Structure 1
Amino acid sequence: MTDDPKAYTVGFRRPPEHSRFKPGQSGNPAGRKNRRKMREAEIVAMVRDEPIEIMLKGKKVKVSMFEATLRRTYQCVLTKGSVRELEKLLELCAKFGALPADFQAEEARRGAESVMQKIRTIFDRTVPDDDEDVVLV
């Protein structure tokens, strides 16, 4: 080996000079990819679906967080008669399409009445009242 810097030997841990990183240059210029940030809906879904253990009929059972919350809300409504809890429960049931049949029937009746009212309004605007103006072809 000589002290001459031009007499550089290529070998183990001694790459050729032309392929070395230049000063200030990284070996991975793009860097590690950033972790994708979770949206609020994804976080809520993840927590909602997380399994937890509860006591059900004297046995430990794994259920989703959502089911445990729903069971607890039912329990509060039935034992305490809490109006606030009842409102939450009915809101959850309506949101997920699990309303009792009588609530669904009343809601359907109200929806049908509003649709019929809209149809009457459109009909009244488009069809003339007096038959004399209408010419049949």
Structure 2
Amino acid sequence: MSDDTKEYEVGYGKPPKATQFKKGRSGNPKGRPKGAKGVNASLKRELETKITVREGSHEIRISKAEAIAKRFTAGALKGDTKLLMALLKLDTDLFNASELDAQESVRTVEPDAVDYDILRDFFSSQLDGDGDLENEEAEDDDS
């Protein structure tokens, strides 16, 4: 034996040098191929493949996803309410829902000085001499 193997202690977490993984070599050479990423990746690849579709008098090549979208919208336009509802659920941007949310957040306005005066008058009329709301509410409950 060489000097290197005599000094190396074999034990728990220290396998023999001959059985350790070699640099640049996979520990699982027959594992999942690099191209296989699961069902979602396979579906995405399939939807990206091109097909030939006839539109009117000419043929065009579009992805399967585009063909599905065309069929989906054509059915919705013909009056299929199920397709229309599914289309609306899929894409909320069709009716600018995100723009409406953005506009509503912009519409928040700071109150004017008049608003503060009205609130101050309201609460001061609700307070009794001690500035305590609870006593007045208790009196209202007794009557």
**Which TM-score applies when normalising by structure 2?**
0.44
Structure with greater proportional helix content? 2
Specify which structure has the bigger relative contact order, considering alpha-carbon pairs within 8 angstroms and separated by 6 or more residues. 1
TM-score, structure 1 normalization:
0.46
